[in-house]
Amino acid sequence: MKKFLSALLLTFVAFSTASAQGMKETDPEYFKTADARRVGDQMLIYQRNTGGWPKNIDMARQMTAEEKAQVASEKNRINDSTTDNGATTTQMLFLARLFQATGDGQYAKAFRKGVDYLLSGQYDNGGWPQFWPKMRDYQIHITYNDDAMVNTMTLLRNIANRKTPFEGKLTTKKLRKRAMEAFNKGVECILKTQIRDANGNLTVWCQQHDRETFLPAKARAFELPSYCSQESAAIVKLLMEIPNPDDRIKNAIHAAMRWLDDHKITGMRKEIVLDENGKKIDTKLVPDAKAKPIWARYYDLKNAEPFVCDRDGIPRRHLEEIGLERRNGYSWYGDRPLDLYKRYNKWADRYDPEHKIVFDK
């Protein structure tokens, strides 16, 4: 009886955790439950024939029979498969964990189809667009925005290395080889797209780069060609995870870290203003001598000065100069690069102590 109650408690805890985590659940116990299969089966319905998935859909939500039929009727769509906002890579991780827990081949098959989708989208130059196979406007650009390309490369690298949950019979030797080759090509693209300033010095990256010229490119009206701190931080972290880096990778990391440190904002913090109901009504930058460093999401390419932008496409220097909709609906300032300093110190001590940059505390 005690064993039964313990098992029941584990199932309840796993189910409760999943309700909170949804498609990003990682608890191994949860993937042994019927609810995990329900979510996995719904992901199978959402998977397009391209092998990819659409974005911004809660596929863990209980679907009606009518909803399932409607989604199934859209399997032939070729214009909404994407890696934007974590789409496709999130579903693939879930299905990999579900296969490891159940051994059910349908989840492995869908996962491998997802791998084929990711590999099919890579340009010869090593980059990936935001959507494929059918693209429009800025979707054709090499896309670092919201970590789309970094997420893809991380997944492929982990598949190649058979890192949990990609061990066992989930993949083949051939597929793992293809995944590692794609990762290495992606690294080459990252190195090619690193922006050089007017003096020829390596800096950081833009959210998206032209697939032919590798230059910073525009996306939405408020996403202008620029130096971008948030996406660059993710790229630097990825590069620092590469074992035995060559001189090009070392130089890229050193240069990006120096640029990020030179452009950190001190003595200011981001403040979210809420109304009496806890609803966000404004975002401000306020003086705070004790605040940790933050970075603007965008810095202009001419003077490397922070800017924000409204839907009119006109860059402005201060948050209060743009409307509330964009002011509150986009992440203009953040501290993501702050996490890199400790990583950099360990990385430089191990791989390139001779050229290690010592930053002010």
Query: Which active-site residues does the annotation give?
Result: 85, 220
DSSP characters for 23-54?
A: GG---TTGGGSHHHHHHHHHHHHH--TTS---
- What residues contact residue 280 under an 8 Å CB cut-off, 6+ apart? 272, 273, 274, 328
Neighbours of 237 (CB within 10 A): 20
Q: 229-240 vs 148-160: helix axis angle to the nearest 10?
A: 10
Two tokens, residue 239 = 């590069």
Sheet containing 298-299: order of strands: 227-228, 298-299, 306-309, 315-316
Burial of 10 (0-12, 13-18, 19+ CB in 10 A): middle
- Whose structure tokens read 């009886």? 1
The Cα–Cα gap between 249 and 243 comes to 10
